[in-house]
Structure formats: structure tokens, C-alpha cells
Amino acid sequence: MPSKLSQYRAKRDFKKTKEPSGQARVRGADYPRFVIQKHDATRLHYDLRLEVDGVFKSWAVTKGPSLDPHDKRLAVEVEDHPLDYGDFEGAIPKGEYGGGTVMVWDRGFWLPEGTESPAEALRKGELKFVLAGDKLQGGWVLVRMKHARDGGKRNNWLLIKHKDAWASSDGDAVLRKDHSVASGRTMKQIATGKGPGPKVFMLSRSKAAAADAVWHSSTGPGADAAPARRARKPTVHKPKRAAAKT
Ligand code: MN
């Protein structure tokens, strides 16, 4: 268990929230993954998560990503999240940390630009990267702001689209693509537990959760997934093994 997640765990009571505790098996991948979760909490925001060294480095993008390179979107760095969090879609109970509805708004793979490691680029405060997702593609940059707003911590970054073929002058058009890439559902359907459950991307099993995500124990999202586990054999791992040899 990476100690990087101690802050994540300290903020949550896994007996009350259905969020993953970071103990589920995550499948391997040929490229680092990213997930953006639309989160209708106290204030609506979009959580950008980039897989770096076994965890999701995470930023809350208050207005959501913009395809317009002129828009500099505030991205507030938050605690590292476990990789299994990338499959979480459902409701966090009111009164719990981050209470509200969570949608898997986009996901896919990402790569850093340049030769620096992502950890080093983030330490220095500028990470240029390329996204290959369902909704977001092309070049982006995260730049840490020079001055902290509230003394001490420099948690504020800017998320900016590079000028390339995937940029657009209608920066917010992409935000109107408002269905889950994991389940096809709307926020309302997710909030009420209706429609299909999310398809997995991170987890080593074929189903992330039921549509109404009934995960009430501290054992994480696997607690209700016994039938799904039986079904995973024919679908998972085989292509990855073959690819790893080349
Ligand atoms: Mn959030």
C-alpha cells in the first residue's frame, strides 16, 4: 500500500462512502492512464487524474477543461487518489468528504512530452503532456502558479490546451458532451442509480459496480462483485500478455 494514499484515506470513512479504499486489483497497461470525473459536490468541478508512479495525481478543475488555448483553467491540486478510484462512478453520501454525484466523464491514456519524468516535471511545476481519451485529445500543459492564494501551500495550477488539431475556439463545447464514457449515463441517472453500471478500465475484473453502486463495507468496491469476478476470465489479461512480449 503506497503511503502516498494516507491523506486520501484519512479524509474518508469507508464504512460510509462507497468510494474505493485503494485495495482492489488494478490491471496493467502499456501506457499510463488518465481519468476525468465530473463531480457535482458543493461546487461542480472536474477531477483530472493522471497515473504517475502507481497513484493518480489529481487536480480539481473548477470550470472543467477548455479546448480553447486562450483559456487558462484553474486546477487545484488535491491529494493523490488510488488507481481503482478511476472506475468509481456513483454517489458519495451527503455529509461525507466530497459528498455528491461522480461521473466518469472521460478516460484514456496519456504521455508526458520531453524526456523528464512526470514526477520531476510536476516537482518543477510544469508538465506538458498528450491525452488520448474519448473526449479530450492532443497537447495540454499543467503549470503551477507562482504565488499561493492563501499563504503557504502552492496548490493552484493552470490547465491549458496547446494549439493543435484538437484545439477549438469554442472551448466549452466539449463540456456539453455530458454522458459518462463508462456507462453512457447522465448525472441524473447516476445520482438515482439508474441505467447500466460503469464498464471497467482500471480494475482486474469485468464489472466496476452495479448501477446503484452498493458498496457499504470498508472492503471497497469488490464487496458486491462476486458474480462479476466469475465472468472476468474470458475477457481480461490475454491481449495484455501477448502485447508485453513484443
Ligand atoms: Mn472532486
Catalytic residue selected from 124, 177, 194, 238: 194
Whether residue 194 lies in the annotated active site: yes
pLDDT-based confidence at residue 207 (cuts at 50, 70, 90): low
pLDDT score at 167: 98
**Whether the Cβ atoms of residue 141 and residue 162 lie closer than 8 Å to each other:** yes
Query: pTM for the whole thing?
Result: 0.81
Give the length of the chain. Answer: 246
Burial 193-226 (b: 16+ CB within 10 A, else e): eebebbbbbbbbbbbbbbbebebeeeebbbebbe
Burial 171-184 (b: 16+ CB within 10 A, else e): beebbeeeebbbbe
pLDDT score at 162: 98
Q: How far is the CA of 115 from the centre of ligand 1 (A)?
A: 30
Pairing outcome for strands 73-81 and 90-92? unpaired
Q: Please determine, for residue 37, whether its predicted confidence score (pLDDT) is greater than 60.
A: yes
Q: How far is the CA of 60 from the centre of ligand 1 (A)?
A: 6
**100-113 pLDDT, tens digit each:** 999 999 999 999 99
What is the rounded CA–CA span in Å between residue 212 and residue 18? Answer: 10
pLDDT-based confidence at residue 213 (cuts at 50, 70, 90): low
Average confidence (pLDDT) over 219-230: 38
Give Cβ neighbours of residue 98 (< 8 Å, ≥ 6 apart).
Answer: 19, 39, 41, 92
pLDDT score at 41: 93
Q: Please determine, for residue 114, whether its predicted confidence score (pLDDT) is greater than 60.
A: yes
Q: pLDDT > 70: what percent of the chain?
A: 80
